[in-house]
Amino acid sequence: MTKRTFLTILALAACLAPLSVRAETAVATAQSECALLTGYGITHRYFGATRTQVQTWDVIARYGRFLSDEVGRGSWYQGRHELLVEVPYHLAVDHDARSMAGGYLLGSWKFTGLEGIAPYVFAGGGILYVDLGLPTMGTRLDFSYQGGTGIQYFVRKDTALMAEYRYHHISNAGTAAPNEPLNSSKFLLGVTFYR
């Protein structure tokens, strides 16, 4: 699916969402959320020690558990702390369909003060089993850290469409040589359900 198709679907969903539904959302009171994201990633060649281009199709299953009630009511930073657990699958579309899979643990701040939308920021890391066949990576068990931002657009009180960007780093953390890192950007779209 092309970038234009993703943006068209997102724009249509935004236009079709009833305004009365978007005014009241579950983000301020929910205990948890479940999300599914998919999208495209590409490494930044010559950013740091990255030399290899890897393009990925990414699928990420996410479970989020809120750790606090709303904080900062009435201020620009009004929001909630959230712990995200993700199970990612990264298919390298330009390396013979080889893949990476693992788990991530991320901390997130979800802004709750805006009507009908919920911007958020997050950061964290995890481990990945990397089967790209790259001799420059040294090991198959690697580590990842990442950070990014996103926005949720509510189409129902407990359902939102998502758009997200993240910076994503993979390396073996110096446990083996060679240790070429993969520094990349990921552009993701998805849907989340609040409970």
Average pLDDT of 17-45? 83
pLDDT of residue 21: 46
pLDDT tens digits, 99-152: 999 999 999 999 999 999 999 999 999 999 999 999 999 899 999 999 999 999
pTM for this entry: 0.87
Overall number of domains in the chain: 1
Contact status, residue 169 vs residue 182, Cβ threshold 8 Å: yes
Average pLDDT of 20-49? 88
Domain residues for 181? 3-194
pLDDT of residue 25: 87
pLDDT of residue 8: 61
Identify the DSSP state of 114: S
Rounded to a whole number, what is the distance in angstroms from the first to the last CA of the chain?
Answer: 30
Please state, in angstroms and rounded to a whole number, the distance separating the CA atoms of residues 131 and 139: 9
CATH (domain of 45): 2.40.160.20
| Predicted confidence (pLDDT) at residue 36 exceeds the cutoff of 80 | yes
Please state, in angstroms and rounded to a whole number, the distance separating the CA atoms of residues 83 and 29: 15
